[in-house]
Amino acid sequence: MTDNVEVARAMRAIDEFRQEVAAIAPDKLDLRELEREVQTRLHAVGRELVAEVLQYADAKTPVVTFEGKQWGNRRESPGTYTSLFGDVELSRGTYQRGGGGRVIVPMELRLGIVEKRYTPQVARVLTRAIALMTEEEAEGFLAEAGVASVSKSTLHRVPLAVAARYEQRRQEINDELRESEQVPDAAVAVQISMDGVMVPMDGEHAKRRGRKTTTPQAPRHEQRYGVVTSSDPSRDDGANGRAWHEACVGTVSYWDAEGDHLKTLYVARMPESGKGTVADELEDELHAALGERPDLHVCFAADGNPTQWDLLEGIGVRMQPETSEPLHLLDFYHCAGYLESAANAVHDQNAPAARVLARHWGDILREQDDGGARVLKSMRYHRDLLPHGKRRESVEKSIKFLAKQARRGRLDYVEARRNHRPIGSGVVEAAAKTVVNVRMKRAGARFAQHGGQTVMLFRTAILSDRFDRLSSSIERSYTSDIRDAA
């Protein structure tokens, strides 16, 4: 360690603070200002202690071994690192191979300094903050808290870079997360669901915010990691300003024998053709769950979107050798919407008789084994009593939709209720609101593809109770084995 002169100076400042407080009359104390002063002085101690840790991890020998090769040409150069207590400036060793080229900083690689500047804990604060609030809100909140205070540009830039690094290693990191995930002991069923949700995006011809030139350089995360996002629909939609495109959320939820919800894992991706990434991740999550608990009963649930059902049914076909026949259910509340629409066409809109009929059809679906066939028969009877026109067409539309769901085996609510399985996709519907709407649909908000994905990545990790493990996995990717050469 270095000498403790600066630490001793900071500790003296704490003793001086005690003396200053003792000189103030008790009725004149300003607690808020005094707390701030305590924090300022303790942060000074924190910076000095962090500086000691950084210097202790520095390499001092003329040659080090890294990636199986020797690096020399050691030089001292100044560096600035952002800690929870503020910026720390110090001199550290840099190394280079003969002939020039890449420069390494052993201290950064040993400690896992994030993006060559930020301590791992600061990076966690920034990525969690951006998952919960806008850059402007986070800047003000961190300043008020007095911890890891940074600018809003830093709050924008660093999470983008960390998320880009994750995308490069997505499969590897996700596999690691799944290996450490545990299915709740009380779980008897697992439900897999998908849903679409619209997100505001930068239109194709939108003026780039915060850029003073029409030909800006690529953002820093792309300069370091390359383009990491999938095809961006907003690049070719002909929209000016803000444009809306459909993102996708997915959930893996666990249920006990009484039908009570236990736990949910969340997946979300910005708009992409076919929604295949969410489906792949859901399949991987299900495969891991069944590997741990092959006795789980599998349920698939969604609204009537055919793309989502093609993906979910594909997962079901591939997982059949591992478990019993899965249950496929149209979200009951989506189904109820078609019942209501047909009942409103049979009777007057929102008339008491229409409400009674819709409720009656719903009760049949939930309570009778052949409920689907009975409801469709009743709908056809009422349709045939109507004259040709819009009301008859409305009933016919509901019949066609529900008949298709019945042929696919998605109306078997009785079996689900008998076994205390969920009959709705409320978990994934809520996920669309919690993951996207609450955070990403603020007044005037719009997102680039990678910016939106960054928010979704860390937000779903928090909701899935995986944020700490995700952060640890990403942090390990910043560390490397550095040894002093013999």
pTM over 0.85? The answer is: yes
Task: Say what the pLDDT of residue 209 is.
Answer: 55
Task: Say what the pLDDT of residue 13 is.
Answer: 81
**Average pLDDT, integer, range 377-382:** 96
CB-based contact 250:278 (threshold 8 Å): yes
User: How do residues 460-478 score in pLDDT, each as one tens digit?
Assistant: 999 999 999 999 999 999 9
DSSP letter string, 230-288: ---GGGGS---SEEEEEEEEEEEEEE-TTS-EEEEEEEEE-S-GGGHHHHHHHHHHHHH
**Average pLDDT, integer, range 210-226:** 74
- How far apart CA 141 and CA 131 sit, in angstroms, is 14
Per the structure block, which two tokens stand in for 45? Answer: 């101690």
Is the predicted pLDDT of residue 207 greater than 60, yes or no? no
- How far apart CA 158 and CA 171 sit, in angstroms, is 21
CA geometry: angle 307, 308, 314, nearest 5 deg: 95
pLDDT band of residue 210 (cuts 50, 70, 90) is low
Which amino acid would we find at residue 72? G
Q: For tokens 């109770």, what's the residue?
A: 465
pLDDT band of residue 342 (cuts 50, 70, 90) is very high
Task: Say what the pLDDT of residue 427 is.
Answer: 95
pLDDT band of residue 243 (cuts 50, 70, 90) is confident
Helix, strand, or coil here: 143?
Answer: helix
Percentage of the chain lying above the pLDDT 70 cut:
93
Per the structure block, which two tokens stand in for 95? Answer: 């190394």
- How far apart CA 216 and CA 141 sit, in angstroms, is 30
User: How do residues 72-106 score in pLDDT, each as one tens digit?
Assistant: 999 999 999 999 999 999 999 999 998 788 999 99
**Average pLDDT, integer, range 234-263:** 88
- How far apart CA 34 and CA 42 sit, in angstroms, is 12
Residues 6+ apart with CB under 8 A from 467: 124, 128, 458, 461
**Average pLDDT, integer, range 278-303:** 95
Percentage of the chain lying above the pLDDT 90 cut:
77
Residue 268 sits at φ, ψ, to 5 deg, of -155, 140
Short-list 62, 75, 74, 71, CA closest to 98: 71
1-10, 78-87, 254-263, 358-367: least confident range: 1-10
Q: Which helix (H) or strand (E) holds 309?
A: helix 306-319
Is the predicted pLDDT of residue 281 greater than 50, yes or no? yes
> Does the CA dihedral 211-212-213-214 come out positive or negative?
positive
Is the predicted pLDDT of residue 2 greater than 60, yes or no? no
Q: What is the 3-state secondary structure (H, E, C) of 331-377?
A: CHHHHHHHHHHHHHHHCCCCCHHHHHHHHHHHHHHHHCCCHHHHHHH
Task: Say what the pLDDT of residue 4 is.
Answer: 67
pLDDT band of residue 406 (cuts 50, 70, 90) is very high
If you average pLDDT over every residue of the chain, what do you get?
91
Q: Which residues pair with 255 in a beta bridge?
A: 189, 261
CA-based end-to-end distance of the chain: 22
Residue 148 sits at φ, ψ, to 5 deg, of 50, 45
Is the predicted pLDDT of residue 304 greater than 50, yes or no? yes
Cα–Cα separations (whole angstroms), residue 211 to 152, 208, 219, 298: 15, 6, 11, 49
| Alpha helix positions (H), 23-119 | 31-56, 106-111
Alpha-carbon 254 to chain mean position: 19
Short-list 268, 309, 210, CA closest to 437: 268
Task: Say what the pLDDT of residue 321 is.
Answer: 61
The domain spans of the chain are: 5-107, 184-326+428-468, 332-418
